[in-house]
Amino acid sequence: MFKIFIVLALLGCALAGTIPKAPIPPADDLDGRIVGGIATTITSFPYQISLQRNGFHSCGGAIYKDTIIVTAAHCLQNVSPASLKVRAGSTYSDFGGSIVKVASFKNHELYSKQTSANDIAVIKLASPLPLSSTIQPISLATTSPANGAPGVISGWGVTSFGSNNVSSQLRYTDISILSRSTCSSSAYGYGSFIRSGMICGFAAGKDACQGDSGGPLASDGILVGVVSWGNECALARYPGVYTDVATYNSWVVKTANSL
């Protein structure tokens, strides 16, 4: 009886359009700070960059080669390369490190604003980053992480959803990676919104958030995910959703070579 009630209640809600909500595309100007995180320094995350739009932090990204950044396609909608720069090698999003101009970028051809599918992009820099202890590339995953694998996310995004609480210092948190099948299971609220090419990350009270988008999810020192979307931030039934880098490994390599 209880089960029947739940099914009917879910059906009713679904018909009324109250659950689950379609993923809300992130704002264009500030795409994602870490919720529940800890302040850190760039030395611990030397592959992290701040993608700057008109001189302000807009998204995160990861250094793949000295001239190549991996980020999210949703960070690069309706923007020209001339308005973009990358800040690398700084703990702070608003000063320090090295600033390099963007020469060009390419969004995944099948990126969908509606579903957030294929939310990945490659940026070519106008000049190579000066690699050092604070500026280092990270390798791309070749296989999707196992369900329950450890992950670490970092960024300059908001520390709670909808707030303007931005500290300019880099923050990070550890999370557990969820496979696509676990994340789309009834243990969580997304169901079929979790498509091929997506994985999730979860820890109670810890998540990526607005301004972290495009930034790295690393596991064992390998780039396994790109911060993509979620229903708000750090909600119990709604993990952070990441682009599964392993799915797009050959696309990134090919695209990096073409730019």
**Whole-angstrom distance, CA of residue 152 vs CA of residue 176:** 8
Interacting span for ligand 4AZ (CB under 6 A) from 42-50, 113-121, 123-131, 208-216: 208-216
Identify the bridge partners of residue 99 per DSSP, sorted by sequence position. Answer: 87
Tell me: does residue 36 bind ligand 4AZ (CB under 6 A): no
Look up 57 and say whether it is catalytic: no
Residue 29 CB neighbours (<10 A): 11
Which position's Cβ is nearest ligand 4AZ? 230
**Distances 147 to 142, 160, 191, 199, 216 between C-alpha atoms, Å:** 15, 26, 16, 9, 18
Task: Tell me the one-letter amino acid at 176.
Answer: S
Tell me: does residue 61 bind ligand 4AZ (CB under 6 A): no
Tell me: does residue 242 bind ligand 4AZ (CB under 6 A): no
Interface pick for ligand 4AZ out of 140, 183, 198, 208 (rule CB under 6 A): 208
**Whole-angstrom distance, CA of residue 133 vs CA of residue 125:** 20
Look up 133 and say whether it is catalytic: no
Residue 192 CB neighbours (<10 A): 8
Interface pick for ligand 4AZ out of 121, 199, 209, 217 (rule CB under 6 A): 209
Look up tokens 């607005």; give the residue. Answer: 210
Look up tokens 């960059």; give the residue. Answer: 49
Tell me: does residue 215 bind ligand 4AZ (CB under 6 A): no
Tell me: does residue 155 bind ligand 4AZ (CB under 6 A): no
Closest CB 202 distance from ligand 4AZ, rounded Å: 10
User: Which residues contact ligand 4AZ by CB under 6 A?
Assistant: 26, 31-32, 207-210, 212-213, 227, 229-230, 233, 240
Which residues are the active-site residues? 74, 119, 213
